[in-house]
Amino acid sequence: MEEPVVVQKAPYVMKTEPRKYAWCACGLSQGQPFCDGAHKGTGFSPIIEEITVERNVAWCGCKLSKTKPFCDGSHAEL
């Protein structure tokens, strides 16, 4: 698997609590946008992001952002 699966052409915007999150980089997780271990054997690994204050986050849904794990609008080019 060389390219991630495009899950959706929009970000996952959600309120996050302060803690560490494992963002799915492969697009195979059933618990998008977070990792459930489905990447095993693909060469992909989740990106661990620590959120230190409660805030809204736009997690990348297309998996092609240049600012992973956050949305940078790359989905607009799909």
For the chain, domain boundaries: 12-77
Closest CA to 24 of 57, 4, 48, 46: 46
pLDDT in tens, 8-57: 999 999 999 999 999 999 999 999 999 999 999 999 999 999 999 999 99
Q: Count of H helices and E strands in the chain?
A: 0, 4
Q: Residue written as tokens 């204050």?
A: 53
- The pTM of the full predicted model, rounded to 2 decimals, is 0.94
- Dist. CA 21–CA 29, nearest whole Å: 14
Q: Three-state SS for 33?
A: coil
